[in-house]
Chain A
Amino acid sequence: MEILSILIPVSLILGGIGLVAFIWAMKTKQFDDPTGDANRILMKDWDDKPKP
């Protein structure tokens, strides 16, 4: 059962990382335009160099 002392913190930390990532995405307004973002990856404008 000692393995629990490692596994539980690990599962909580992984879950927490997911939650933090979600909150970050939320705060940076990444869920505002799902359709637009799905289409933007198809744009060829900045294929050869990153957008300045």
Chain B
Amino acid sequence: MTIAGPIAPQDIEVERPGMAACPACVVTPSAQALAAMAKPSSGRLMLSLPAAHCAACISTVETAIAGVPGVQSSRVNLTMKRVSVEADASVTAPQLIEVLKRVGYEAHELDAGLLSATETDKQGRDLLMRLGVAFFSMMNVMLLSVAVWSGAEGATRDMFHWISAAIAIPTVIFSGQPFFKSAWAGLRVGRLGMDFPISLALVLASSISLFETIKSGHHAYFDAAVMLCFFLLLGRYLDHRTRAVARSAAEELAALEVPRATVLVDGAEVVRPISEVVAGDLVRVRPGGRMPVDGVVAEGASEVDRSLLTGESLPVFAGVGTVVSAGEVNLTGPLVLRVTAAGKDSSLHRMADLVAVAESAKTKYTTLAERAASYYSPLVHLMSFSAFGYWMWATGGDVRFAVNISAAVLIITCPCALGLAVPAVVTAASGKLFRKGLLIKHGTALERLAQVDTVVFDKTGTLTTGAPELTNFTDHPRAVIEVAAALASASSHPLAQALAEAAKAQGVVAAEVSDLREVPGYGVEGIWRGQTVRLGRAGWCNAEALDVTATYLCAGDKPRAFTFADRLRPGAEVAIAALKAQGKHIRLISGDVEGAVADLAARLCIEDWVAGALPAEKVALVRDLTLAGRRVLMVGDGLNDTAALAAAHVSISPATALDAARTASDIVLLGQDMAAIGDATRIARQATRRMVENFGISAAYNVVAVPLALIGSATPLAAALAMSLSSITVSLNALRLK
């Protein structure tokens, strides 16, 4: 059972502009989400296919699914890496997942994300449609405008202006809608965003030009109006696409296990949503399952993995009377829990409160674009109005001339390049980082990442993979390892599996051990050459417990210890070296015991480390650093890191992290390799520099063109040149990103 399984819909909500991210809401699944999960799925199924990448994949998957009785049709979408299946209600997603597994494709159900996925598409299609229309008009109007600029006179010019008007005005009305709507929405709450001057310029340019056309004047700005529309929509569309890609990948990442608990009612098993489980119920948790509730073990013995909650890398013994918390993983034996707290009262929910507090304490980040707009918007309006006032006075009340000048000022200063400056860079940078295995979830994450000067790492699951590695293989005689391997392969305990794997890698053939039996919570025992052999806890094998992670074998003369160390995540050393080279301060904070943390810190040359930290202490550390003026990048994966992730200036979590941690973080590390983090900070700094340069470039064009407009010698040709040249320069500059 997953703690925060069905978060896909919220996850998507979070990504929408204007909606506050709320990791607190997803630490515990909401009642609505539970209700939605309980509904029977409709005839349409959506599966995520993370491994699909080629033409052969498409036909294999589609043929395999077509072979399932009851399936009407299926179509793979390679861009989104998912397949949608039209099928009878009798066909279930697990059934299809099984079929795909047989032909070699990993698949995950995406049912909850279905609705919002189509919603996203609609928005993107809508923008693309408006962009296409603006492009068509821009080309045609430009064609006619070039004729006017090159000297069309009299009736010909008027005719060209009329045709331009017939094309441009409907286009501005249709394609300009996203700007008009957003400007209106901003106006209603009393805020002048970037969209207000844009809308004003669009409306003014079209109406002035129409007026000039009626009066058969010389200058019409129809081309400028549609060109504005086109370039600004392009920026908007790039922005949308970056977010849409991040969103669909985040959906794929969401583990979609259903948050249900197996409740024992009069000895019979009943599966219920967690929201309906009450204190006092008996809940069964099978080996490999996650505790859905807080409780006390009433029956059975096992070991539990608390790493995601506390960061402890070693499994902990759980017998009758042991208190367990929701989110821990049951490893070896079935357990029956008496529920002490479920839903709102569980420890999970208390964690959620911590996240909510951290989230609300975080100051809102003002993006470069927002800051630029806040200077730019008033300045443009002021200039345009003063030009109008001055020319009214200078010409002795020639309204037509004065309005023409102020419109020209608005059109020339209109932020074509400003609108492209940030989206073009973000698109280039996030594409680059995506290929390196980093997914930027949040629009402002790049800018925030660029400011980071302190990096705080979690240990278990972040710097280490959470999988143990045998360290003293060569200390043991071959025969001993053969026995140990035989015993180890009978258990699903992480240490046993690591031992069996190491033995296999060295070509050890397991000895013949009979009557293998796993004693939950203790270890494995069996009969080898007539004597009982055991592999497991120190006490159970009459061995002296060492202070490092170890499992013990008693066979023959004396017990033997197999010691383990947590395996480093690939690229961890590279990433830390790169961050150090960039002059960043590195800290390690873990909930694990001191020995393990000190060992890892020494291996990675991290001087500054804290062991045994509680979730609240992690948040406190991040907050103290922030108060001391540091910009903190938090890298963590566990539920115990979630609040710290939310509190940090910017945060990264690996794809293997819990949903709640991934939702709280701004960037997700898709692959196993961590080396990309070093690149990410470098690329982020470079990207921010490009953004600033882009603002500089568009300002430079304005510095040249605005005086021309103010003295009244700007022609539509000058406006068109300034606009297109600045937009192109800005886009090219974005592509320089290395």
Contact = CB atoms under 8 A, between A and B. Distances in A.
B103 interface: no
B712 interface: no
Nearest to A44: B59
B125 A31 contact: yes
B125 A35 contact: no
Nearest to A46: B59
A15 B136 contact: yes
Contacts of A22: 132, 136
Given A26-B128, A35-B78, 6 more contacts: A16-B136, A22-B132, A33-B78, A33-B79, A39-B78, A43-B55
Contact of A1 (B55, B121, B156, B163): B156
Nearest to B143: A11
Interface string B134-161: 0010011001100000000000100000
B660 interface: no
Contact of A36 (B79, B128, B132): B79
A48 B129 CA distance: 36
B77 interface: yes
Interface of B: 54-55, 58-59, 76-80, 121, 125, 128-129, 132-133, 136, 139-140, 143-144, 156, 163, 167
Candidate in B55, B77, B125, B128 with the most chain A CB atoms within 10 angstroms: B55
Contacts of B55: 39-40, 42-43
25 contacts: A8-B144, A11-B143, A15-B136, A15-B140, A16-B136, A19-B136, A22-B132, A23-B129, A26-B129, A26-B132, A31-B125, A32-B79, A32-B121, A33-B80, A34-B79, A35-B78, A36-B76, A36-B77, A36-B78, A39-B54, A39-B55, A39-B58, A39-B78, A42-B55, A43-B58
A31 B59 CA distance: 20
A40 B469 CA distance: 44
Contacts of A43: 55, 58-59
Nearest to B54: A39
A45 B78 contact: no
Given A19-B136, A36-B76, A31 B128 contact: yes
A6 interface: no
A45 B59 contact: yes
A16 B171 CA distance: 13
Contacts of A36: 58, 76-79
Contacts of B76: 36
A31 B58 CA distance: 17
A41 B633 CA distance: 45
A12 interface: yes
Contacts of B132: 19, 22-23, 26
Contacts of A16: 136
A34 B133 CA distance: 20
Candidate in B132, B133, B139 with the most chain A CB atoms within 10 angstroms: B132
A4 B159 CA distance: 11
A39 B132 CA distance: 25
Nearest to A16: B136
Nearest to A15: B140
Contacts of B156: 1, 4
Nearest to B76: A36
A40 to B, nearest CB: 6
A41 to B, nearest CB: 8
A39 B80 CA distance: 14
Nearest to B121: A32
Looking at chain A's contact residues, the main secondary structure is helix
Candidate in A11, A22, A33, A36 with the most chain B CB atoms within 10 angstroms: A36
Contacts of B136: 15-16, 18-19, 22
List of 9 A-B pairs having minimum Cβ-Cβ separation, nearest first: A36-B78, A39-B55, A42-B55, A19-B136, A35-B78, A33-B77, A35-B79, A22-B132, A33-B79
Nearest to B82: A33
A15 B134 CA distance: 12
Contacts of B59: 43, 45
Interface string A7-32: 01001100110110011001001011
Contacts of A1: 156
B307 to A, nearest CB: 37
Nearest to B144: A8
Contacts of A39: 54-55, 58, 78
Contact of A12 (B79, B80, B133, B140): B140
B58 A15 contact: no
Contacts of B78: 33, 35-36, 39
A11 B79 contact: no
A43 B76 CA distance: 13
Contacts of A45: 59
B156 to A, nearest CB: 7
Contacts of B54: 39
A4 B55 CA distance: 49
A26 B77 CA distance: 16
B159 to A, nearest CB: 8
A33 B121 CA distance: 11
B145 to A, nearest CB: 13
A15 B139 contact: yes
A6 to B, nearest CB: 14
A7 to B, nearest CB: 10
A26 B125 contact: yes
B163 to A, nearest CB: 7
Given A1-B156, A39-B55, A40-B55, A32 B77 contact: yes
A12 B163 CA distance: 10
A31 B77 CA distance: 11
A42 B58 CA distance: 10
Nearest to B56: A43
A22 to B, nearest CB: 5
B369 to A, nearest CB: 27
B325 to A, nearest CB: 43
A12 B144 CA distance: 11
B44 to A, nearest CB: 15
A3 to B, nearest CB: 12
Nearest to A14: B140
Contacts of B80: 33
A42 B136 CA distance: 32
Contacts of A34: 79
Contacts of A32: 77, 79, 121
A50 B144 CA distance: 45
A18 B55 CA distance: 29
Contacts of A33: 77-80
A15 B137 CA distance: 9
A4 B144 CA distance: 11
Nearest to B52: A36
Nearest to A37: B78
A43 B133 CA distance: 33
Nearest to B62: A45
